[in-house]
Amino acid sequence: MDTIVGHPAIKATTFREATAEDWDYVTRLGREAIQKNAGRPVIDLLRSQKDVPNHGWQVNNYEHSLQCATRALRNGETEEYIVACLLHDLCQDLNPYNHDKLAGDALRYYVSDELHWVVANHQVFQLSFRDHSKFDRTACEKFRGHPHFEAAMRFCEHYDMNCFGKYDYLPLEHFEPMVYRLYEKGVQAFHAKHPY
Query: What residues between 97 and 126 interact with Fe ion by CB under 5 A?
Result: none
Question: How many residues bind to Fe ion according to rule CB under 5 A?
Answer: 2
Under rule CB under 5 A, which residues in 81-100 are in contact with Fe ion?
89
Compare residues 38 and 86 and give the one whose CB is closer to Fe ion. Answer: 86
Cβ 135 to Fe ion, closest distance in Å? 13
> b/e for 141-160, b at 16 or more Cβ within 10 A?
eebeeeebbebbbebbebbb
Question: Strand pairing partners for 2?
Answer: 8
Contact status: 77 vs Fe ion (CB under 5 A): no
| Interface stretch with Fe ion, choices 16-24, 40-48, 140-148, 152-160 (CB under 5 A) | 152-160
Measured from the CB atom, the residue of 55 and 146 that comes closer to Fe ion is 55
Closest to 144 in 3D by CA, of 133, 153, 136, 135: 153
- Does the footprint of Fe ion cover residue 160 (CB under 5 A)? yes
Angle between helices 61-74 and 172-193 (to 10 degrees): 80
Which of 72, 109, 108 is closest to 90 using CA atoms?
Answer: 108
Check residue 134 and report its DSSP letter: S
Q: Which stretch binds Fe ion (CB under 5 A): 1-9, 76-84, 105-113, 156-164?
A: 156-164
CB nearer Fe ion, residue 47 or residue 55 = 55
Answer yes or no: are the C-beta atoms of 156 and 128 closer than 8 Å.
yes
